[in-house]
């Protein structure tokens, strides 16, 4: 039995879903969350566009340094990234980065011994899933499905049940593992990033800038966080590193006006992708949430289809609070894709399953570190296998 766990790669993948698609659909309906109406009427203000701000000149190193000095987080991220990664560096895999997660650790205990196929095993799995932030509803559905099948004698032994759990977890995520497609007809393709404070929006934009530059796309960034000191310099530092122009106005400028200028400039230059940063805001701050709606409407004055993607960044360590964050941001601005960050380190990671089950909104990318290359296209199987103990997963 232990041999099963030790096997490197099962020939018949243990991932073979044992639930039919219909059963899964019934077990995990991805009902879109009810979008509560914003409590505050959204004011549409005409935007008096300043003349299109020229792409900001490269920021002098001392300005960035000064800015970075006051922002230890950024300084750390910048310092962490080698200008040219050594040829041998290679991209660290999902498993390597997610190994320390609470999910991997709590489920790992189950695999380090030889569990019996009984209700105690289900109880232990249930505790592990709840501990990892999978959420009560998703956990209950997973456990009840396993229990039903165990009673129906579908599993020969405990490893068979654990393999079924792996397959069910993957099946839960597969519908939302939809990569971002840049529509070539949209020029520029406008990406608006939103999310609460400190979740990794600006870092994710930097990572995307590198990714899109590597794909030889003409890019532009809009410094729409006019609220936090050093936010503009932080984005400019990322822009400079990747040779991408950044449109900015002064601190405390109107964020919608920055977005408007940037879109006009991007259009004039035939830019392929425009990524707009926004200030972090709590989903409970009604006024700031309404501002997001305004940014969106102002973009639509230039291009009625913009933004083509409203990318909400969610911190993977947040836990179940991520659900109310997404609900509120979705109501305010219509989220079309997610990035779940900080899945490296001690993240529980389970909230990804709760988000998938509750909203069915595509998860575009996963952030698994602070460096430019630490962004992965979200892959259901790779993610689950990185969370599960090695012997079962890969
Ligand atoms: N470990 C880890 N850290 C991350 C990841 N993504 C971002 N961070 C770190 O999270 C911190 C905040 O990142 P920012 O990009 O400034 O977050 P933000 O959402 O733009 O923050 P505000 O603009 O203040 O709302 C920084 O220290 C980043 O390096 C990730 O995937 N893994
Ligand atoms: Mg930011």
Asked, for residue 16, whether it belongs to a domain, the answer is no
In sequence order, the 6+-apart residues with CB closer than 8 A to the CB of 261 are 49, 50, 52, 53, 222, 247, 249
C-alpha to C-alpha distance for 295 and 75, rounded to whole angstroms = 29
Q: What's residue 238's pLDDT?
A: 93
Residue whose CA is closest, atom 6 of ligand 1? 200
C-beta of 375 in contact with ligand 1 (< 6 A): no
What is the per-residue pLDDT across 114-129, written as a single tens digit (0 to 9) for each? 778 999 999 989 998 9
Asked, for residue 13, whether it belongs to a domain, the answer is no
What is the per-residue pLDDT across 130-150, written as a single tens digit (0 to 9) for each? 888 899 999 999 999 999 999
| Pairing, β 375-377 against β 363-367 | antiparallel
Asked, for residue 336, whether it belongs to a domain, the answer is yes
Nearest bound ligand to the CA of residue 207: 1
Among 195, 200, 239, the mutation site with the greatest number of ligand 1 atoms within 8 A of its Cβ is: 200
Asked, for residue 113, whether it belongs to a domain, the answer is yes
Task: Give the number of the atom of ligand 1 that is nearest the alpha carbon of residue 366.
Answer: 31
SS3 (DSSP) at 166: helix
SS3 (DSSP) at 273: strand
CA of 201 to the centre of ligand 2 (A): 5
Residue percentage of the chain with pLDDT more than 70: 72
Q: Could you give the dihedral angle defined by the CA atoms of residues 280, 252, 330 and 175, in that order, rounded to the nearest 10 degrees?
A: -60
Q: What's residue 385's pLDDT?
A: 85
* Residue environment code for 337-370, b if the CB has 16+ CB neighbours within 10 A, otherwise e: bbbbbbbbeebbbbbbbbbbbbbebbbbbbbbbb
| Helix spans in 52-175 (H) | 61-70, 72-80, 94-98, 102-111, 119-131, 136-151, 158-173
Question: Which position has the higher pLDDT, 293 or 98?
Answer: 293
Mean pLDDT of the chain: 78
Asked, for residue 102, whether it belongs to a domain, the answer is yes
Asked, for residue 81, whether it belongs to a domain, the answer is no
Give the number of residues written for the chain: 394
Supply the range of the domain harboring residue 373: 189-378
- Do 269 and 228 share a structural domain? yes
- Do 123 and 225 share a structural domain? no
Of the pLDDT bands very low, low, confident and very high (cuts 50, 70, 90), residue 91 is: very low
- Do 273 and 155 share a structural domain? no
Q: What's residue 19's pLDDT?
A: 37
Of the pLDDT bands very low, low, confident and very high (cuts 50, 70, 90), residue 306 is: very high
- Do 205 and 170 share a structural domain? no
pLDDT at 187 over 80: yes
Q: Give, as residue ranges, everything with CB less than 5 Å from ion ligand 2.
A: 201-202
- Do 226 and 279 share a structural domain? yes
C-alpha to C-alpha distance for 28 and 25, rounded to whole angstroms = 5
Tally of structural domains, the chain: 2
- Do 371 and 333 share a structural domain? yes
Of the pLDDT bands very low, low, confident and very high (cuts 50, 70, 90), residue 189 is: very high
C-beta of 315 in contact with ligand 1 (< 6 A): no
Asked, for residue 168, whether it belongs to a domain, the answer is yes
The reported pTM is 0.77
Of the pLDDT bands very low, low, confident and very high (cuts 50, 70, 90), residue 66 is: very low
C-beta of 281 in contact with ligand 1 (< 6 A): no
Give the CATH number for residue 111. 1.20.120.140
pLDDT at 10 over 60: no
C-beta of 369 in contact with ligand 1 (< 6 A): yes
Task: Give the number of the atom of ligand 1 that is nearest the alpha carbon of residue 196.
Answer: 25
Tokens standing for residue 211: 């990714």
Give the CATH number for residue 343. 3.40.50.300
């Amino acid at each position: 039995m232990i041999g099963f766990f030790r096997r490197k790669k099962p020939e018949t993948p243990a991932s073979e879903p044992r639930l039919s698609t219909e059963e899964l659909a019934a077990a995990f309906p991805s009902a879109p969350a009810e979008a509560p109406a914003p409590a505050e009427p959204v004011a549409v203000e005409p935007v008096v566009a300043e003349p299109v701000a020229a792409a900001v000149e490269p920021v002098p190193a001392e300005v960035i340094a000064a800015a970075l000095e006051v922002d230890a987080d950024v300084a750390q991220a910048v310092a962490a990234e080698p200008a040219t990664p050594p040829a041998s560096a290679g991209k660290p895999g999902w498993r390597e980065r997610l190994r320390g997660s609470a999910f991997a650790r709590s489920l790992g205990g189950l695999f380090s011994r030889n569990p019996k196929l009984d209700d105690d095993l289900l109880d232990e799995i249930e505790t592990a899933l709840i501990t990892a932030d999978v959420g009560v509803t998703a956990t209950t559905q997973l456990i009840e499905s396993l229990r039903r099948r165990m009673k129906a004698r579908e599993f020969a032994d405990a490893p068979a049940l654990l393999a079924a759990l792996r397959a069910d977890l993957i099946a839960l995520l597969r519908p939302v593992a939809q990569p971002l497609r840049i529509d070539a007809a949209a020029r520029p393709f406008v990406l608006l990033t939103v999310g609460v404070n400190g979740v990794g929006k600006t870092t994710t934009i930097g990572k995307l800038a590198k990714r899109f530059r590597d794909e030889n796309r003409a890019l532009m960034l809009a410094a729409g966080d006019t609220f936090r000191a050093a936010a503009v310099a932080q984005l400019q530092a990322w822009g400079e590193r990747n040779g991408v122009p950044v449109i900015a106005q002064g601190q405390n400028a109107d964020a919608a006006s920055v977005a408007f200028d940037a879109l006009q400039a991007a259009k004039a230059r035939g830019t392929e992708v425009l990524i707009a940063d926004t200030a972090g805001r709590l989903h409970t701050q009604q006024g700031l949430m309404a501002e997001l709606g305004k940014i969106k409407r102002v973009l639509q004055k230039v291009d009625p289809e913009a933004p083509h993607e409203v990318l909400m960044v969610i911190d993977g360590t947040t836990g179940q609070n991520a659900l109310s964050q997404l609900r509120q941001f979705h109501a305010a601005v219509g989220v079309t894709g997610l990035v779940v960050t900080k899945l490296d380190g001690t993240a529980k990671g389970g909230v990804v399953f709760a988000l998938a089950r509750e909203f069915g909104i595509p998860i575009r990318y996963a952030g698994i570190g602070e460096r430019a290359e630490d962004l992965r296209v979200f892959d259901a199987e790779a993610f689950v296998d990185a969370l599960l103990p090695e012997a079962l997963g890969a």
